[in-house]
Amino acid sequence: MIPRRTAHERVIGPGVVPHGVDPEHDALYRGRTARGTVTDEVLRGVRGRPFTIDGKAREKAPATRTQTPYVTGTSALGLKYAGGVLLATDTLACYGSTKRYKSVERVKRVNDKCAIAFTGELSDFAYVCDLLEELTTEDFCEDDGTTRDAEEIYQYLTRVMYNRRSKFDPLWNSFVVAGYDAKGEAFCGTVGMIGTHYADDHVAAGFGNHIARPIFREFYKPDLTEEEAVEIMKSALYACVMRDKQMMNKFQIAKVTKEGVSIGEPFAVPTEWGYEKFYNPTKFSPGGW
Amino acid sequence: MAVKYADGVVLGADSRTSTGTYVANRASDKITPICENVWMCRSGSAADTQNVAAYVSRLAQEHAVSVSSAGADADEGIKCDVKLVANITQKIAYQNKDRLQAGMIIAGYDRKLGPQVYGIPLGGAMMENPFTVGGSGSAYIYGWCDDTFRENMSKEEAQAWVKRAISLAIARDASSGGVIRLVTIDATGVSRQMIQPIEQPLCDEELPAVKRS
């Protein structure tokens, strides 16, 4: 977010302390502007110091906005194919161990060239979406015929995440950024909550790294057709939903193609539970699991 | 969970065992036979409950054999009094309360006292109830169970009730999932069922399960 100095109610977030509220800070500037000595009246609304909620005490202590996540989304998966990039998530937000919100859209369109998916804290993701919305609005207003592409969004998010981490106030998210880069080639990258980032033919955030990436490595080849890519994605989602307790069998796949971003309707993957050994698993080991 | 109905008991459980977020076993069997007519629902640490179940099973069967001719015929399964099994479990749970993390439900049918359900939660207390729920998913269904339970249901009603209760728990608890296992115990014997997700009642905001071809 490009910092813009505004004076507003302190409870709604970081901003600028208006003149007159912090005498110590004002004293530093009184009488020392380029225009010469100024009176208090002129200073009001012109100078101020940046602040965080709770003012002075907060500045001395490390900021602690999100240190434990509360409402969380689990894995997000990204896979390149011939026609673009696929992004897949489930639609569940867990409150600890409770499956609380079951129709959460965890994939969002940023602009025609980029979509992102998240894992981690839902409120921090909403905040990041607001930041990206500001970028998109700026693009629109500049009206110069280009929009920020996926690689730029990815780099922007990296800087945001890293800077927050450096202030001990991380955004508790990992993102998968998918779309097209400046050269017009498909782009698929991930940004972690401490600013770690990389781009690859297929990426995952969260538990998907352990469960889905091996499947992608096994079956990925350059220039997959859309059907093949969706098949691979569905088998990765199947593995994830069987083995991740915080996932539910209700997924959305978003496609980023040259035409733009389309987020599909929620669907369920087929599952198999009727294996013979599932019926009586402890037949030869009573008391076993 | 376990519930007493007119002629017997129905025990039900999900089949998910997790280590952290990873589902270690998606088809585990949490209902263990102690003897032919008394079964135990296990929750908490899998290691603790498996070993307690093994001890209880041995002690109860030895006791039953020593006081009667139960099991004299090799084909005949050993039957125990449900209360006996519950007491043995309670003694083990109570004496080792600082070492165990085991929530257990003993349920069964015997000719002396009919169908019985005993809950033995953490700490080693023992209580007889018409029905009892346990495990992490139980928190989500206390209200529903309290609201819909009736005494002296028929066997089919009791099975449907348990199935619905567990599916509601699975719908909201991330630590519960997989298949629903039911065990019905009455005077004639024991019957086991496994209900796959495709056969489970659908909950709000979820999609119907699809079978893999």
Domain CATH number, residue B72 = 3.60.20.10
Residue B204 is assigned to a structural domain of this protein: no
Residue A29 is assigned to a structural domain of this protein: yes
Residue A82 is assigned to a structural domain of this protein: yes
Residue B171 is assigned to a structural domain of this protein: yes
Same domain for A31 and A116: no
- Confidence grade of residue A19 (pLDDT, cut at 50, 70, 90): low
Residue ranges in chain A assigned as alpha helix (H):
23-29, 40-43, 55-60, 122-142, 150-166, 208-219, 226-243, 276-279
Q: Which residue has the higher pLDDT, A136 or A16?
A: A136
Which chain A residues are Cβ-neighbours of B175 within 8 angstroms?
97, 245
β pairing state of A114-121 and A173-180? antiparallel
- Confidence grade of residue A12 (pLDDT, cut at 50, 70, 90): very low
Dump pLDDT digits (tens) for A165-182: 988 889 999 999 999 999
pLDDT of residue A168: 84
**Beta carbons of B53 and A243 less than 8 Å apart:** no
Same domain for A249 and A153: yes
| Contact of A245 with B18, CB cutoff 8 Å | yes
Check residue A54 and report its DSSP letter: T
Same domain for A189 and A263: yes
Residue A5 is assigned to a structural domain of this protein: no
Query: Percentage helix, strand, coil, to 5, in chain B?
Result: 30, 30, 35
| Contact of A202 with A222, CB cutoff 8 Å | no
Check residue B128 and report its DSSP letter: E
Size of interface A-B (CB pairs under 8 A): 105
| Contact of A66 with A124, CB cutoff 8 Å | yes
CATH of the domain at A212: 3.60.20.10
Same domain for A128 and A26: no
**Beta carbons of B27 and A275 less than 8 Å apart:** yes
Residue ranges in chain B assigned as alpha helix (H):
46-67, 82-95, 142-148, 155-172
Residue A242 is assigned to a structural domain of this protein: yes
Same domain for A209 and A86: yes
Residue that the structure tokens 């989602």 belong to: A237
Distance from CA of B168 to the nearest CA of A (A): 11
pLDDT of residue A38: 52
Structure tokens at B179: 């298949």
> What's the domain range around B120?
2-199
Same domain for A190 and A98: yes
Same domain for A156 and A93: yes
Residue B127 is assigned to a structural domain of this protein: yes
Of A6, A64, A66, A282, catalytic? A66
Structure tokens at B153: 């249901």
Residue B208 is assigned to a structural domain of this protein: no
Same domain for A75 and A55: no
Residue B113 is assigned to a structural domain of this protein: yes
pTM of the model: 0.81
Dump pLDDT digits (tens) for A45-75: 444 455 444 555 545 555 555 588 999 999 9
> What's the domain range around A243?
67-268
β pairing state of A114-121 and A71-73? antiparallel
pLDDT of residue A269: 96
Residue A77 is assigned to a structural domain of this protein: yes
Q: Say which residues have a Cβ less than 8 Å from residue A267's Cβ, sequence separation at least 6.
A: A250, A251, A252, A253, B207
d(CA A145, CA A135) in angstroms, rounded, equals 15
pLDDT of residue B201: 87
d(CA B146, CA B149) in angstroms, rounded, equals 6
Q: Clarify whether A190 is annotated catalytic.
A: no
Which chain A residues are Cβ-neighbours of B208 within 8 angstroms?
268
Same domain for A150 and A90: yes
Residue A6 is assigned to a structural domain of this protein: no
Residue B90 is assigned to a structural domain of this protein: yes
Q: Select from B23, B173, B179 the Cβ nearest to the Cβ of A97.
A: B173
Give pLDDT < 50 ranges for chain B: none
Question: What amino acid occupies position A226?
Answer: E
Residue A177 Cα to chain centre, angstroms: 8
Tell me the HSE value of A224 on the side-chain side, using a 13 A CA sphere.
21
Residue of chain B nearest A208, judged by CA positions: B22
Structure tokens at B111: 């000719």
Distance from CA of A135 to the nearest CA of B (A): 33
Counting the structural domains of chain A, the total is: 2
Residue where one domain finishes, among candidates A8, A34, A61: A61
- Confidence grade of residue A76 (pLDDT, cut at 50, 70, 90): very high
Same domain for A231 and A198: yes
Which chain A residues are Cβ-neighbours of B172 within 8 angstroms?
98-100
Same domain for A77 and A53: no
Closest CA to A249 of B141, B211, B27, B12: B211
Residue B111 is assigned to a structural domain of this protein: yes
**Beta carbons of A245 and B172 less than 8 Å apart:** no
Identify from A91, A103, A240, A245 which residue to disrupt to test chain B contact, counting B C-beta atoms within 10 A and taking the largest count.
A245
Structure tokens at B40: 């135990």
Tell me the HSE value of B97 on the side-chain side, using a 13 A CA sphere.
11
Counting the structural domains of chain B, the total is: 1
Question: First CA to last CA across chain A, in angstroms?
Answer: 52
| Contact of B2 with B12, CB cutoff 8 Å | yes
Distance from CA of B140 to the nearest CA of A (A): 9
Whole-Å CA distances, B120 to A44, B73, B124, B145? 69, 32, 6, 19
Residue A146 is assigned to a structural domain of this protein: yes
Q: Select from B21, B171, B198 the Cβ nearest to the Cβ of A244.
A: B21
d(CA B198, CA B213) in angstroms, rounded, equals 13
Angle (CA) B165-B167-B173 rounded to 5° is 100
Same domain for A186 and A99: yes
**ipTM value:** 0.82
Dump pLDDT digits (tens) for B120-168: 999 999 999 999 999 999 999 999 999 999 999 999 999 999 999 999 9
Residue B143 is assigned to a structural domain of this protein: yes
Residue that the structure tokens 């709770």 belong to: A54
Residue A54 is assigned to a structural domain of this protein: yes
